[in-house]
Structure 1
Amino acid sequence: MKELRADIERAGLDTLSGRKAPRARVLLIAGRPGSGRSALAGELVRQVADRYPDGVLRARLSEPDGTRVPVGRAARELLDALEAPAPAGAAEDELGEALRTALADRRVLLLLDDAADAEQVDALLPDNPDCLAVVVSAGPLTGIADVRPCTLGGLDTKSAVEVLSRFTGSVRVTVDPRAAERLAEQCQGQPAALVLAGGWLAARPKAAVADLAGQLNADLGQGTVVGRVLRLVHASLPASAARTLRLLSLAPAGLVDPHTAAALAGCSVESARATLDDFVAHGLLHPVGGSSSPQYEVPCCLHPLLSALARDHERPAELQLARARMLERTVRLLQSCRAITETDSLRAREKLLEMPRSLRFPGPRAAADWLRVRRPALLASARLAVADGELDTLARRLMSQLVRAMVAHFGTRAAASDLYDVHGLVLDVAERRNLPRERAAALLNLGDLDARTGRTADALGRYRTALDAGREANDPYATGRAMESVGGAHLELGDYDRAADWFGRALTERLARGEGEDAARLYGRIGAAHTYAGRYGEALRNWRAAVAGHRRNGDVAAQARALSELARVQEYAGRLDESLRTCQEAVEWAGRAEDTRLQAALHLRLADSFQHLGDPASAALHRGTAERMLAEEALEEDSEPEHGANACEIRSSSAEE
């Protein structure tokens, strides 16, 4: 610790040469898993965090099984922590640049744990010398300038005995100090091995330190010292607890809660919770704070060892069954998490009551808290299920429920990045299993997210591929939706002729199937394309067809909006008198639909029209009415979610044309 703190103050090579450091200082803590490297990094961060007023950012750069975490995912997690999210589906370079931009004027402490290589770290370093990056890795980060590794080995004997005494108490160590020193030497001073040994002794207050030292001395087989101590701890556990411990290697992202443990072991949630608490006392798990829902983390140094124990003691079919039980339990929890938000649905309440009490949440807030805390594990579950390849049916159900739960609690916009990843996984399964209907759905969802983030050309390509998949599946919904989406992409790109053509194709499909509501909406989209192109005659004809269609369907609000757009086109075409009459009719229908925002927008448009006609008194009257209506609505509604269908143009002067 002293060496690391001195290294923070040490002048770098750039400073010595008279140049300002171009990037954040990097402190590297190197050591093998189990050497206490992460604990040391965490303590260093705690001691110096007050020097960095903009906070501490943490990211793990390797999965528990050693798989390298993609830079894009790590950068997005850091951006989310900064509340500066990047667009969904953004490329890795774009995310790295967004992170550097967000940190350009901040003074933060960055903790990058379990880094796999220098390239991974380099892509996340801020171009800001006021920031500090503490990196934990197994070896040197060659390629990053001005980095001095602080390499950890084993603790000295005195310090190792002190670690043991924290678990055993001072009496047992004082009674037989030689045995304690011998045990510390057998653990090679490795903190992880010492913690496991101390946990074993703490659980057996009548056992002497020499007993454990003798058992370790008898087991001089192959493997690391941490592995030898873990095997001894595993062998001393009851059969059910030992099996639970082995199966924790299947926990996604190394994160375990009582439901996960119960599903893996096939036991009750209460029993699983008690077993997990025992594991914490043994030093086998670390509790994860910050939530009312208990959650635990499997230490990374133990994960490969537990996986080896699982392979040695469990048949492959049993491991697959345990994984399937875990995914099934996760699916049911996600169903419950979503259903608790559907308070107006009698069917949803009935389905919720049919679930076991252990799977129900006390309220929407508790469900949202669980979803937020378990989010990394849930996303990891989806990735692992898809990578497995043998549980595609469960994987599809899991991803479907995960999407619905996130949309219900967080909304489409807030969850866009996670939804993009999940839809990408759905696409992988659909292509692997040759499921054209699901491939079309995934492509449409990905295309929508691309379109929202400004990648319209990418969205257009996805929509076209989705159209082919929908035709292959003979799915009229996917086909029609893809045609309309292709038209929308062309409209966004300014190709109004193609947009109107594709909307027309989608309209033909809807009319052939007698889908009146969608047909009326498509008449409006065709009218909008012609309006942008300046073909006001065609636009008027299609908007009138939209008005007629909505009237036949009895959709008063849609009819009012269509009349509003018809009035706009009439105004553009120079037919101010007709526009005025149509706008007044739209106000009447908007009043029947109780659409206050649309009424206010139409009153403002009437004000503009009267201004054009030289009647400032009437213009002022309508403008005042609009302002009053909007003020009353603001008082009545503290926070209303945005609805695209109710969005309308509000203008206050003709200069905005």
Structure 2
Amino acid sequence: MTDQAVDTDGVRLADEPGGESWFLGRNRELKDLRADIERAGLDTLSGRKAPRARVLLIAGRPGSGRTALAEELAAQVADAYPDGVLRARLSEPDGTRVPPDRLARDLLTELDVSAPPGAGADDLGVILRDALADRRVLLLLDDAADAEQVDALLPDTPDCLAVAVAEGPLTGIADVRPCTLGGLDTKSGVELVSRYTGSVRVTVDPRAAEHLVEVCQAQPAALRLAGGWLAARPKAAVADLAKHLNAESDEGTALSRVFRLVYASLPSPAARMLRLLSLAPAGLVDPHTASALAGCSVAGARATLDDFTRLGLLRAAGTAPPQYEVPGCLHPLLKALADSNDRAGELQLARARMLERTVRLLQSCRAVTETDSAQARERLLTMPREQRFASPRAAADWLRARRPALLASARLAVADGDLDTLARRLMSQLVRAMVAHVGTQAAAPDLYGIHRLVLDVAVRRELPREQAAALLNLADLDARTGRTAEALVRYRAALDAGRAADDPYATARAMESVGGAHLELGDYDRAADWYGRALAHRLARGERVDAARLHGRLATAHTYAGRYGEAQRGWRAAVAGYRKAGDVPAHARALSELARVQEYAGRPGESLRTCEEAVELARRAEDDRLRAALHLRLADTLERLGDPAAARLHRETGSRLLGEGGGNACEIRSTSGED
């Protein structure tokens, strides 16, 4: 388990040289929580085995140290859970509930368990529970909004433990006794302040330090801000700060009063940057984000963010490259300041600058992988130095660290509705960067969500061409994960959008995909009909290579339907098309499929001659895998024709080719790599 580096909601810190972590107070609460783990539950007392994981609840207001206590408990009992600690934050910084499907998918990602892109919350919940069934993990669920959120993630095994952090009780989950947090004990509160100020100022006036703890209501977040304020002013006395806070009006909480003092002490540019950090997606900030929001240099933003961290206004996220997190307890205060001090147009401009900077970083992130492209190198050189990545590895590290913020940026930009042009550019570059660094298959779950956002914008802005593209992308992902019926619905919608946009590519692609979906569903007549429509469309546009591929697909549908005569005509048309195009590998594959259909049709002699022609073409194409498959097929055909000696020679040749080229010979139904 890795401890949080800095937590302004609690008393876990790493401010000492070398990053040493330490925890103050809460000894009674920790003792009670550990005892609660060992306590016999209601099921055990009644003689039944507990059906699900035990749930511990730490309840308290933001800033009370609830998350830090949960982390400390997890650190103390981690050895009892050898499969690790899984963390999930159940609410956004602004209090919005995180959708259950995203929560389950993030936990599956931590477990390194793949899940189908686009799967619903129920399916993901089942996959998550199955993945946890034979594991012993501790699940730390932070900032839960209600019992329903927690219940959806609970493992169906008593060997796991869930520690939930919430503001109030989780009514609806059985056998949960909340550990409700108040303030720290006075001794721990004083020690917390002294960690920032040094021991001298506390030792010379211990009563003032105790009074400061009382004024801050012993709330860890408030004490941290007070300690940070004093640390920045070595000559200020603890008593002066306590008097100043005492003189404040009683309006608001202790945290809000200390925060107002700290905020008022900031220079104007720093104060402006601080309140604009409320716009940071997912509450995650890096120097580029802060630079774009405030309109300052990246180096200046980095220095200011470090100052904020020392003051307790931010916490270091512990990632490389450096990243900071806006504490949840301060987010509402920052947002209120931004709304009251900055005009709506200024806030929108800051959002636009942030999105534009993100787009440029994503462009750089992708371009650095194109090492063989002179155009990409030129494009990189035109970018400011601080927006370039030193290597593809550095770009990949940045993309991985910023992934939650990048996905949140896309969601927020689409939800905003007034920055759709930037949102579309952002999502386009995000898709390209993820494909370049992660690969289409590995990034598929994230890509599915992005394509859905693209579709939302396209529908809102009435952009049928983009609707068609998004629907095709979503349908492809549905089809790859076995949701063929859902894919078919989207392919039909993409066809309508493509026609509305007068987009010949989207129209042809959608018709072909509709045929493929019907083929997968076993409706061979409809598949042949749609392949025929797509073929007519390609022929009308003179797209001969695509037409050859569709002749092959149409022939495949006829083959599955048992119409071997029509299938042979289709494959012969495909063979002629590839011959004219000079595509030798595709020509060989088409002949291979024609030979198969001829054999199905009871014409082994014709199949033998076609197969021999295909072998020669495969040799010219240097496709040893296809040659091996063809030699093995020839062997089978010759055995049926009563020539075992020739069959043995072909089988030996096929085996030798497999040994040289590796892999297995397999039947190839497609007529090209695209198919």
Which bracket does the TM-score occupy, shorter chain normalised? over 0.9
Q: Which amino acid aligns with 2:122?
A: D
Contact kept in structure 1, 2:184 and 2:218, CA below 8 Å? yes
Is 1:94 the counterpart of 2:123 in the alignment? yes
Residue-pair matches, total: 640
Look up the match of 1:5. 34
**1:258 maps to which residue?**
287
1:356-371 matched pairs, under 5 angstroms:
356-371=384-399
Aligned to 1:655: none
User: Of 474, 484, 489, which residue of structure 2 is paired with 1:456?
Assistant: 484
**Which structure 2 residue ranges, 5 or more long, are not aligned?**
1-29, 670-675
Matched, 1:389 2:417: yes
The aligned residue for residue 317 of structure 1 is 345
Tell whether 2:220 aligns with 1:191.
yes
Q: Which amino acid aligns with 1:361?
A: F
Out of 120, 136, 139, which is 2:165 matched to?
A: 136
- 1:629 paired residue among 643, 657, 670: 657
The DSSP-based 3-state class of the residue aligned with 1:179 is: helix
Distance in 1 (alpha carbons) for counterparts of 2:643 and 2:587: 28
Q: Which amino acid aligns with 1:387?
A: A
| Gaps in structure 1 of 5+ consecutive residues | 636-645, 652-657
Moved more, 463-472 or 358-367: 358-367
Matches of 2:600 and 2:262 in 1, distance apart? 81
Report the secondary structure of 2:154's partner residue: coil
Does the 8 Å contact 2:67/2:165 carry over to 1?
yes
Residue 101 of structure 2 corresponds to 72
**Whole-Å Cα distance in 2 between the matches of residues 372 and 92 of structure 1?**
24
Structure 2 CA distance for partners of 1:550 and 1:423, relative to 1, 3 Å? same
Are the aligned partners of 1:200 and 1:282 in contact in 2 as well (CA < 8 Å)? yes
CA change 1:350–1:533 in 2 (3 A) is same
Q: Does the Cα contact within 8 Å between 1:604 and 1:650 map onto a contact in 2?
A: no
**Relative to structure 1, is the Cα distance of residues 625 and 345 closer, same or farther in structure 2, using a 3 angstrom cutoff?**
farther
Superposed, 1:611-650 pairs within 5 Å as 611-634=639-662, 649=667
Is the 2:629–2:665 Cα contact (8 Å) retained in structure 1?
no
Aligned position for 2:515: 487
Offset at residue 522 of structure 1 (A): 0.7
Q: Secondary structure at the match of 1:26?
A: strand
Distance 1:5 1:231, change over 3 A: same
SS in 2 for 1:113: strand
Q: Which residue does the alignment assign to 1:553?
A: 581
1:586 paired residue number: 614
* Cα distance per residue 1:417-463 (max 9 Å; x no partner): 11111111111111111111111111111111111111111111111
**Structure 2 match to 1:399:** 427
Q: Does 1:542 align with 2:570?
A: yes
Residues 1:570 and 1:182: Cα distance change in structure 2 (over 3 Å): same
Q: Distance in 1 between matches of 2:515 and 2:662?
A: 35
Name the counterpart of 2:27: none
Structure number with the bigger relative contact order (C-alpha 8 A, sep ≥ 6) is: 2
Asked whether the equivalents of residues 628 and 665 of structure 2 are also in contact (C-alpha less than 8 Å), the reply is: no
C-alpha deviations, 1:491-536, integer Å up to 9, x for none? 0011111101101111111111111221111111101111111111
Instruction: Report the Cα distance in structure 1 between the residues aligned to 2:575 and 2:250, rounded to whole angstroms.
Output: 82
Going from structure 1 to structure 2, the CA distance change for 1:240 and 1:601 (only over 3 Å counts) comes to farther
Residues 1:416 and 2:444 are matched in the alignment: yes
Superimposed CA distance per residue, residues 447-481 of structure 1 (whole angstroms, 9 cap, x where no aligned partner): 11111111111111111111111111111111111
2:314 aligned to 285, 292, 298, which one?
285
Identity %: 79
TM-score (norm 2): 0.92
For residue 95 of structure 1, report the CA deviation from its aligned partner.
0.9
**Does the 8 Å contact 1:520/1:545 carry over to 2?**
yes
Cα deviations by residue, 1:565-605 (Å, 9 ceiling, x for unpaired): 11211121122222222222222222322333323322332
Q: In structure 2, give the amino acid aligned to 1:16.
A: L
In the TM superposition, residue 169 of structure 1 has moved relative to its aligned partner by 1.0
Q: Please say if residues 23 and 129 of structure 1, whose CA atoms lie closer than 8 Å, have aligned partners that are also in contact.
A: yes
Q: Which whole-Å CA distance do the structure 1 matches of 2:380 and 2:666 have between them?
A: 38
Task: State the 4+ residue runs in structure 1 displaced beyond 4 angstroms.
Answer: none
Worse-matched range after superposition: 143-152 or 402-411: 402-411
Distance 1:520 1:57, change over 3 A: same
Q: How far apart in 2 are the matches of 1:273 and 1:609?
A: 72
1:305 aligns to what? Answer: 333
Equivalences for 1:325-344 in 2 at 5 Å?
Answer: 325-344=353-372
SS across alignment from 1:59: strand
What residue number does 1:654 align with?
none
Aligned CA RMSD, in angstroms, stands at: 1.7
Amino acid corresponding to residue 537 of structure 2 in structure 1: E
- Tell whether the 8 Å contact from 2:320 to 2:401 is kept in structure 1 after alignment: no
- What letter is aligned with 1:55? G
Alpha-carbon separation, structure 1, partners of 2:36 and 2:556:
64
CA distance in 2, matches of 1:198, 1:647: 70
Does the C-alpha gap of structure 1 residues 647 and 623 become closer, same or farther in structure 2, counting only changes over 3 Å? closer
Report deviation, 1:550.
1.4
Q: Deviations over 1:187-224 (max 9, x none)?
A: 10110111111111112222211222222223225222
CA displacement 1:73-100 (0-9 Å, x = unmatched): 1011111111222211111111111111
d(CA) in 2 for partners of 1:455 and 1:647?
29
Alpha-carbon shift at residue 619 of structure 1 (Å): 3.5
- Of 223-232 and 72-81, deviating more is 223-232
* In 1: Cα distance, 2:464 partner to 2:96 partner: 31
Match of 1:596 in 2: 624
